[in-house]
């Protein structure tokens, strides 16, 4: 079932797949600084699914407090630098041993009929970050939101397709806030469900410090 989303903040599995492919293509076209999102099809009992799977963005540097303060430190230390901001992408290459990297996966919840974010963080030596360490890194407003919001909170759960523990933002409130988001006038009427993931990520991305480039939202 494809279609226009007006009443609920959720989407079908088929719509999730369509939106995921659209979103990853747009991202890969417009966002050369970041690695590509890749669709991993679900493989079960030797049969590879045509339309069930999840999106993966791996070893990405997020816009976290820690990485931002590294940026400041480096700016202050470098006495010969001019006053312009240095290119963040260059800094990653040169100083990547400071940066924590993250894996982000987006899977579909058949219960709540919404996307769900799963993520893990790594230190430079490859060790996993604990929940407390991740919370320390998150943008400060996001930690506040997570503590106060009844709509979203972070837990550790098993990844729906890999048999390992991942951190996740609980999806039970997603339908409610997506309904509000999609009905707001900035999206206009008759928003196609293919736009669901970029819209969803514009909110979720802020929680974990993932910047979504504005070009992604321009209609192609």
Partner 1 sequence: MEEEATKYIWEGAIPLQIKLHESEITSFPPPPPLMILGLRIGYLPLLVPPLKAHFSSTLPPGTDNVWFDYKGLPLKWYIPTGVLFDLLCAEPERPWNLTVHFRGSPGDVLTPCEGEESVKWSYINSLKEAAYVINGNCKNVMNMSQADQYDLWQSLLKGNMEGYLKISSKLKLGPFGEDSLPSEESEIVASSRPSRIPVRLYIRSVGEEIVDIEDAPIIDSWDKISYINRPFEIYKEEGGYVSLKQALKSLLPETFNTNSSQEESSTNVKDPNAPDFEDDNAKLRLVRVQGIEPDMDIPFFWLANCLRNPEFYLHICVFISKQPKLR
Query: Which residues of this protein are in contact with partner 1, per CB under 8 A?
Result: 44-50, 110-112, 128, 156-158, 160, 163-165, 172
In the bound complex, what is the minimum distance in angstroms from residue 164's beta carbon to partner 1? 6
In the bound complex, what is the minimum distance in angstroms from residue 87's beta carbon to partner 1? 36
Q: Residue 123 pairs with which residues in a beta bridge?
A: none
> Which residue, 44 or 59, has its beta carbon nearer to partner 1?
44
In the bound complex, what is the minimum distance in angstroms from residue 46's beta carbon to partner 1? 6
Q: How far apart are the C-alpha atoms of 149 and 213, rounded to whole Å?
A: 26
In the bound complex, what is the minimum distance in angstroms from residue 79's beta carbon to partner 1? 44
In the bound complex, what is the minimum distance in angstroms from residue 178's beta carbon to partner 1? 14
> Which residue, 142 or 168, has its beta carbon nearer to partner 1?
168
> Which residue, 96 or 156, has its beta carbon nearer to partner 1?
156
Phi, psi of 121, rounded to the nearest 5 degrees: -115, 150
Q: How far apart are the C-alpha atoms of 195 and 190, rounded to whole Å?
A: 11
Is 172 annotated in the active site?
A: yes
> Which residue, 50 or 93, has its beta carbon nearer to partner 1?
50
CA atoms within 13 A on the CB side of 101: 16
Catalytic residue among 5, 42, 77, 172: 172
Q: Which residues are catalytic?
A: 172
């Amino acid at each position: 079932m494809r279609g226009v989303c007006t009443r609920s903040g959720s989407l079908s599995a088929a719509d999730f797949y369509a939106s995921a492919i659209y979103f990853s293509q747009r991202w890969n076209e417009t966002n050369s600084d970041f690695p590509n999102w890749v669709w991993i099809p679900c493989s079960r009992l030797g049969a590879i699914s045509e339309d069930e799977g999840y999106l993966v963005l791996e070893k990405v540097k997020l816009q976290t407090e820690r990485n931002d303060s590294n940026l400041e430190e480096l700016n202050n230390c470098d006495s010969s630098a001019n006053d312009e901001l240095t290119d963040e992408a260059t800094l990653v290459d040169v100083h990547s041993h400071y940066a924590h990297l993250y894996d982000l996966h987006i899977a579909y919840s058949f219960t709540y009929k919404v996307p769900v974010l799963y993520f893990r963080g790594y230190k430079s030596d490859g060790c996993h970050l604990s929940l407390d360490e991740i919370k320390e890194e998150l943008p400060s407003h996001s930690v506040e939101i997570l503590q106060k919001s009844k709509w979203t909170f972070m837990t550790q759960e098993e990844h729906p397709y890999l048999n390992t523990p991942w951190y996740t933002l609980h999806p039970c409130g997603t339908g409610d806030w997506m309904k509000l988001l999609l009905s707001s006038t900035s999206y206009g009427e008759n928003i196609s469900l293919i736009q669901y993931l970029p819209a969803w990520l514009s909110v979720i991305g802020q929680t974990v410090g993932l910047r979504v480039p504005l070009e992604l939202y321009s209609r192609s």
